[in-house]
Structure 1
Amino acid sequence: MPRPFQSTKRGWLLLPLARHPTRSRPPSFPSQSSRKRVPQHDRSRHDDGLKKESSRFARSVLEGSTVALISLLGLGLGGYAYSLLYKKMVLDKIENAFKAGYSSNELVSLGRIAYGTRPDMIEKILERENWVPREEQSMIDTIINGAMRGRYHFIIGERGTGKRSLILESMRKIGGDGIAMLEAHNDLEVFRVRLGKAIDFEFHEDYIGSLFSIRGPRDSTPLLDIERALNKLEKVALRLRKARGRPLLLIINNIHFFKDDEAGLGLLEILQQRAEIWAGNDLVTVVFTSDEHWTFERLIPHSTNMNVISIRDIHKETVTAALKKYRARFHNEDVPTNVLDEVFAKVGGRLIFLNQVAKSNDMLATCKQINRKEKTWLLNKCWILGDSMDDDVEEQQKYCAAAMVLARALVLREASHSSTEEYKLPEIPLHESRQIITRADYIQGFDHINVVHIDANSMVRADSVPMQNAFREICTQEGFEEHLRATLNRLDELESLSRTREVAFRDPPQYEGGKVPVQTYCAKL
């Protein structure tokens, strides 16, 4: 409502507006007596509703907690049961791995006879494959069948002497029962996989619980995984000791493939420690095979129960008799004695060469090919360059000259043999060989590339009869002595040049009083 105006002498005056009668009243509240009273039964009904709501909430909380606890308990019991089942399955798988015919090596020894072969052909196959009798076979049989206990074994011999074939033949006789065999490798990860395959152990890589763990069981080094596998193998051996009555057999072939470094030596130490413990308790018999002497040097200082077996070339009488019988049976050929003697003089009793010669159409031509191959290998690896060599090949030529010096010493040692004694390769003690080549570190390299072989008695000889023939042909050819002497002189010259420091003089500076004496100038330099 607009305010009224009143006229004055100075102008219009705005008058105050009167309050509305309804707005001026204070708000009225009902008195305590005038309030509506709630009945008593409605109030109790309201309290009962609140109690029911609270009890319903408590019941739901209790039910949810109970379900959660039961679920957690079930999950925990299920995980625990799975863990127990998984551990049992791991041990069962390892136990199954030692049954007959599990590994590929056993299938190699059993397959050509056990699968698809008529019984009347078994003897013929054995005669064709194992036509040379081996005197070491009986000893290997006692190891493989468990008759020899309380020891672990180190079998050493040249490449091609038949170490693996001896083991496979013994495995065939017992059906491969209780045996696990694997090949060594220079990479620890590869060896870890091969060990797992041999004993059927997955290293917990198939364990479901690793999906929920922060650090998985494979998050470790290969040595730790190998240690885990050996622990599982020990548990299986303990479980099978009473049932089998003889220890299990673990064969590691060609351990010289391990690197001669910290990791390789650590692996050898782990395997040897287990072999020592297992041999003393008749749990597992470990068999190592090697072609090189350095593995023997690493194992012998800590060996207590190790048995060393040297596999040598076959004797001449055995070779000639077996070769004559083989050629007569499978080639209808009556080989003269002089031809058999010539064959033995060219390839010796090395089984890998005899198999090639016996199955060939022309034995003498095959012998010549084998000798040519060995000589070419030696010349390609160790030939010397004479007095015209460049200084960049000094280290390589030191290695080659040492090989030629050692070959010459073996040829000279051969000349001192008596012609009436049985033919065998000339030998030089290891310490004397190092003295001859004036180096202690080259012998292991020669053994590694199969130029020479160092046996368990630390005797150095040519790796084979064809290699000794190559030594003889090279060292007796015309001009070899002069060529070797020129090479050694050139190496001495290069070594003396590397030790010599040249000092160049310049003209001394000019001074007012004349030149400074050369002695004073050199002293200042």
Structure 2
Amino acid sequence: MVQGSCSQKDHEGVRTRLCQLPSPRGYRYMLTTMQDPALELSKLNGPNSSHVKRREQPLIDRIVRGEEKGGYYLIIGPKGSGKGTMVLDAMRKINADGVSFCESHPDLEVFRLRFGKALDFDFYEDWQGSLFSRADPRNGGPALDIERALNKLEKVALRYALKNGRPLVMAFNNIHLFPNTEEGHSLIHQLQQRAEAWAEGGILTMVFSSDDYWCLDVMKKNASRMRILSVYDLSATESLRALRHLRRQEITHRLSTSGTGGEVQLESDQEFRRVYELVGGRTSYLARVARADNMIDEAEAMIESEKQWLLSKIGLIPEHDDDVMDEQKWASCSWLILRHLAQAGPTLHPYPPVLPSIPSKADVEYCPVPDDDGKHVRSSSSVNITPPVEISSEDIVLPKVTYEEARRIMTRADFLEALDHYHVVAIDLQHNVRPDSTLLLRAAQQVIAVEGFDKDLDTTRDRVDQIEGLHRQNELTVKEPFRVMFDKRDGKPVWEVIGLGESFVPEGEDEEEERQV
């Protein structure tokens, strides 16, 4: 239940809060403002923290400002591509006025608490009604508590929309962390139903972000006003500019911290290009490499770490025991699709070409694609609103196959979801299957380049077939070889079994006479 005390309005991190206050006729509700904890945490490193502004940022800014009505949004893309960072950046620009941010969790009880904290909604944590033989309101489980919070949020959204003329915004980050079970699907449907109704009324816009494809598959069944934004890696030009910008920030910070001062000396364009060929355009990888002492050594160490992690998950054991047959079946099928993608992907050249110098104005905070002043197509159906990307010859394009083709290559239809969950492959809106990142592509290329890999893969698959064949066979074993002899004695047929010892006793004459009678 929401408490009666209200916090004071601050100039930064402002968001709306519903207070329930006692009155002579029951309770009255009052809108107040408070600080958003997610925004406060994101501001610990300052406004110029090491992250990259993406081409999708203007669209996210309009969504968070409440300028996009009549729909709700699903941002889907691989991990580390900047989905949550874009939402937090947009919140920072408007001081989180009318916006709330909530992180997902596999345990729905934990998510219930996080959702209540994001809304400043207090559940019945200190319920003492059992002393008076009253039922605990929390006996209904987390779904019922979340429904109560959504009911209160609806009252806030109605009053806020009437007062300010724009909808509230509620962002749920990493919804793929919800359990991929009936319970998790029910929670997603519960939130989606409210998102559909509130988008139609224009009182609240929900924003979901996910790394895995299964969330899109679950939500697409009931989506009529959902708009989907796919996030990919940066292009070569964007990556090199971002890397130079982050590297300059890091070196400047080191010089200011040490107190030595001096001019900032950046690496050559050839070294920046080499780093891009190693790690690709993933924003989280670029930020990590830019903070290293030696960028190329750090990139190669990241590839080696990714390769060892990959082998720990789907490493091949050619002469494996039958107890690990199911694991090796999954590993061998996974390497079939990875080998196909690694062979189709761009190879790593020993000496990358030197690109022309990048202008110094790129070292300032930039946006690859300018804002379109809100001019775009609105639709009430589930549509793809991903900004188009022009691919140049300098870009590292990850190889892709269709979902149907990937199932044929793997000879299985149930292993792709697990690979997507482990971030080995990524599935986009068009059902294209790609390596999750350039880093993983380089790791897979190193694994398949080892001498004897194809032989080990074939041996592992043959061993799986042998074990499955043994499980399908029934074997009959006789302890001693025996021989059956047929003869006639006194005009009667006689047969005798030799070799079974006392385990076989011929039928006696008395028993034969009794049977004839």
TM-score bucket (shorter structure): 0.7 to 0.9
> Across the two proteins, how many residue pairs are aligned to each other?
418
Q: Deviations over 1:5-44 (max 9, x none)?
A: xxxxxxxxxxxxxxxxxxxxxxxxxxxxxxxxxxxxxxxx
Q: 1:198 aligns with which of 118, 129, 148?
A: 118
The equivalent residue for 1:381 is 313
After TM superposition, give the deviation of residue 393 of structure 1 in Å: 0.5
Q: 2:444 aligns with which of 459, 471, 474?
A: 471
The equivalent residue for 2:470 is 497
Q: 2:288 aligns with which of 352, 356, 359?
A: 356
Q: Are 1:392 and 2:323 matched, yes or no?
A: yes
After TM superposition, give the deviation of residue 104 of structure 1 in Å: 1.6
Aligned-partner Cα distance in 2 for 1:419–1:109: 34
Does the CA contact (< 8 Å) of 2:100 and 2:119 recur in 1?
yes
Equivalent residue letter for 1:484? L
The equivalent residue for 2:42 is 109
After TM superposition, give the deviation of residue 222 of structure 1 in Å: 1.4
Q: 1:407 aligns with which of 331, 334, 338?
A: 338
The 1:166–1:423 alpha-carbon spacing in structure 2 relative to 1, beyond 3 Å, is same
TM (norm. structure 2) is 0.75
Q: In the TM superposition, what are the counterparts of 1:125-524 in structure 2 within 5 Å?
A: 125-126=47-48, 128-130=49-51, 132-205=52-125, 212=132, 214-328=134-248, 330-331=250-251, 332-386=264-318, 388-414=319-345, 420=393, 422-505=395-478, 513-515=494-496
Aligned-partner Cα distance in 2 for 1:158–1:177: 29
Structure ranking higher in strand proportion: 2
Aligned-partner Cα distance in 2 for 1:419–1:161: 20
Aligned-partner Cα distance in 1 for 2:219–2:127: 36
After TM superposition, give the deviation of residue 87 of structure 1 in Å: 4.8
After TM superposition, give the deviation of residue 208 of structure 1 in Å: 7.3
Equivalent residue letter for 1:350? R
Of 197-206 and 225-234, the range deviating more from structure 2: 197-206
The 1:176–1:430 alpha-carbon spacing in structure 2 relative to 1, beyond 3 Å, is same
After TM superposition, give the deviation of residue 168 of structure 1 in Å: 0.8
Aligned-partner Cα distance in 1 for 2:267–2:424: 31
Equivalent residue letter for 1:302? N
After TM superposition, give the deviation of residue 403 of structure 1 in Å: 1.4
After TM superposition, give the deviation of residue 150 of structure 1 in Å: 0.7
Q: Deviations over 1:125-171 (max 9, x none)?
A: 52x534x3311110110111111111100001111111111111100
Aligned-partner Cα distance in 2 for 1:416–1:354: 20
Aligned-partner Cα distance in 1 for 2:112–2:312: 35
Does the CA contact (< 8 Å) of 1:100 and 1:177 recur in 2?
no
Aligned-partner Cα distance in 2 for 1:415–1:109: 36
Equivalent residue letter for 1:402? C
After TM superposition, give the deviation of residue 358 of structure 1 in Å: 1.1
SS of the residue 2:137 aligns to: coil
After TM superposition, give the deviation of residue 231 of structure 1 in Å: 0.9
Does the CA contact (< 8 Å) of 2:342 and 2:444 recur in 1?
yes
Does the CA contact (< 8 Å) of 1:411 and 1:472 recur in 2?
yes
Q: Is the radius of gyration larger for structure 1 or structure 2?
A: 1
Aligned-partner Cα distance in 2 for 1:169–1:217: 38
Relative contact order higher in (CA < 8 Å, ≥ 6 apart): 2
After TM superposition, give the deviation of residue 214 of structure 1 in Å: 2.3
After TM superposition, give the deviation of residue 86 of structure 1 in Å: 7.6
Equivalent residue letter for 2:412? R
SS of the residue 1:129 aligns to: coil
After TM superposition, give the deviation of residue 513 of structure 1 in Å: 2.8
Equivalent residue letter for 1:400? A
SS of the residue 1:513 aligns to: strand
Gaps of 5+ in 2: 1-20, 252-263, 349-390, 486-492, 505-517
Structure ranking higher in helix proportion: 1
Equivalent residue letter for 2:293? N
Q: Deviations over 1:49-72 (max 9, x none)?
A: xxxxxxxxxxxxxxxxxxxxxxxx
Aligned-partner Cα distance in 2 for 1:249–1:446: 33
State the Cα RMSD in Å.
Answer: 2.8
Aligned-partner Cα distance in 2 for 1:460–1:84: 62
